[in-house]
């Protein structure tokens, strides 16, 4: 699969990050079941608990527009190393994932790795565990 557009959108979203406390900007973009793409950046807050990660921003934008199934997500943080999603973001990805979706972890448009959700979140707690 060609991830160039998804990675590009994540890179552009990173430019909008509001990270005055950590100075660590992250961008993410998700592709929904129908091929729509939604992007988001991390948004920090002086009350650290109110901070939102880029992955959740992108996912929540997609969900707020009626999309419930994600095919892939691209995450771009540091251009020097791969930036994986945090634990809370991994759990949110699980909630809306489709078919062990692809997780694209990019330094830039040419340097990225692709993981399956099961690789970064083995034994995930999901709707299935609630009998749903």
35: left (phi over 0), alpha (psi -120 to 50) or beta: left
Q: Is 95 a catalytic residue?
A: no
CA 77 to the chain's CA centroid: 11
Which one of the listed residues 55, 80, 81, 119 is annotated catalytic?
Answer: 55
Q: What is the 3-state secondary structure (H, E, C) of the chain?
A: CCCHHHHHHHHHHHCCCECCCCCCCCEEEEEECCCCEEEEECECCCCHHHCECHHHHHHHHHHHCCCCCEEEEEEECCCCCCCCCCHHHHHHHHHHEEEEEEEEEECCCCCEEEEEHHHHCCCCCCHHHHCC
| Residues with a known catalytic role | 55
């Amino acid at each position: 699969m060609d991830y160039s557009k998804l990675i590009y959108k994540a890179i552009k979203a990173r430019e909008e990050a509001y990270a005055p406390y950590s100075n660590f900007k992250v961008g993410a973009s998700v592709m929904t079941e129908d091929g729509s793409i939604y992007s988001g950046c991390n948004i920090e807050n002086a009350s650290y608990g109110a901070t939102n990660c880029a992955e959740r921003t992108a996912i929540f934008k997609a969900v707020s527009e009626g999309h419930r199934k994600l095919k892939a997500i691209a995450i771009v943080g540091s251009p020097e190393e791969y930036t994986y999603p945090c634990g809370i973001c991994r759990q949110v990805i699980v909630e809306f994932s489709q078919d062990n979706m692809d997780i694209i972890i990019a330094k830039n448009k040419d340097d990225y790795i692709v993981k399956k959700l099961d690789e970064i979140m083995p034994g995930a707690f999901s709707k299935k565990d609630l009998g749903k």
